[in-house]
Amino acid sequence: MDYRRGIVVYDLAGAARRTGTSPATVKRHVKVLRELGALVWLVHGSKRNIALPGEPYMATATIYGAVIPAVFDEAMGHRLAGSGYEGRVCGVTEAGRERAVAQVRSEARHQGRRRTEQERSSGRRGARVRTVRPVDNVVVDNPSSQAREPHSPGRYHRSPAVQVESGCKDTSRERATCRTAPRPSFKISYNPDGSRRTAGQTQRAIGIIQQVRPRVTWTQRATSRELEVALRPRTDAGWDSQRITEELHSWHLTWRPARPAAYIRARLAQQATAEHQTAAAEVAEGWDEQEASGPLAASSPDLVRSVMHGLAEGLATHSARQAELGLDDLTDHSAAATMAAFLNSGTGAPA
């Protein structure tokens, strides 16, 4: 590690060789240091060859930065300048100053107590001066276990033993030829009248869809088969490619659906629901389409006479209401009487 800049190149093979451990051990220890917050990732290494032509293969190295966790600085009362890897200690806080003063006082008392004990022990005759030696922790510091890898976290699951069934080694011909899995069920399509849809009907509908699909751009994400199923209500009704194309263009889509077939099915379902609701409302109101279209289908003289009769009745009703209100008619003659005279004359009679 470069302690001046606080960076280290992650050399897995070199670290394992220098420490006498396996690469797996080095990886686990580096993982612990990263989780602790003592190492941060500065440069992500890769296997891309950065060597010049003619030189041996050389990959991009992983570079870590040595840092001190922020929790430690807070506990010690350090004041930092900057943040993250660029943070540096620039002073101490009030809590840090009190902690440093208490630590210095504790060390001074400890040194004075130890000096007094040494003086007392040296004043005795034949007293032996105690020497402090490091504690030998054999359980932790075991040189023979340095080359071993640490145990994996969790339980060790052993794979169960393979159970070989007794009997013949090979599969019999009778068992190999029998069908154990059920046959796939194919969906059967039906016409609106309940009859089964034939392959010829599907083929003719696909022929119409193949003419519609190039003309409508937003339908080209779906296949011809999907469009045929979606537009089946129109093809079964006898619509040709031109009429279907005109209807799709009449929707004026300024965007492209991700699933055109599903959008077409939903749009046609909405139209069918609206038509059904309109028909139900007309039946509830007593609307008769033939009776309503009767005057339009009549001949011209009959239509004129019917309109004139309606006008006469309306004018008569209006005059009667005016008389009830006490209002005088501004004209010298009654318009309703004139209209009735015209209808009773030969001019307004039907031919």
- If DSSP codes are grouped into helix, strand and coil, which group holds residue 7? strand
Position 46 scores a pLDDT of: 84
Mean pLDDT over all residues of the chain? 77
The H or E element spanning position 75 is: helix 70-76
Q: What is the average per-residue pLDDT within 132-158?
A: 51
- Given a cut of 70, is residue 208 above it in pLDDT? yes
d(CA 35, CA 246): 65
Q: What is the average per-residue pLDDT within 202-213?
A: 92
Instruction: Count CB atoms within 10 A of the CB of residue 260.
Output: 22
- Given a cut of 80, is residue 159 above it in pLDDT? no
Q: What is the average per-residue pLDDT within 302-307?
A: 73
Q: To which residue do tokens 């899995």 refer?
A: 181
pLDDT range class, residue 210, cuts 50, 70, 90? very high
- Given a cut of 60, is residue 146 above it in pLDDT? no
- Given a cut of 50, is residue 174 above it in pLDDT? yes
Position 308 scores a pLDDT of: 77
Q: Answer left, alpha or beta for residue 281, where phi above 0 means left and psi between -120 and 50 means alpha.
A: alpha
Burial letters 175-191, b for 16+ CB under 10 A, else e: eeeeeeeeeeeeeeeee
Q: Does residue 219 or residue 131 have the better pLDDT? A: 219
d(CA 225, CA 223): 5
pLDDT tens per residue across span 62-118: 888 888 887 888 888 888 887 777 778 888 888 888 888 888 888 888 888 888 777
Does the global pTM surpass 0.75?
no
- Given a cut of 60, is residue 136 above it in pLDDT? no
Position 351 scores a pLDDT of: 43
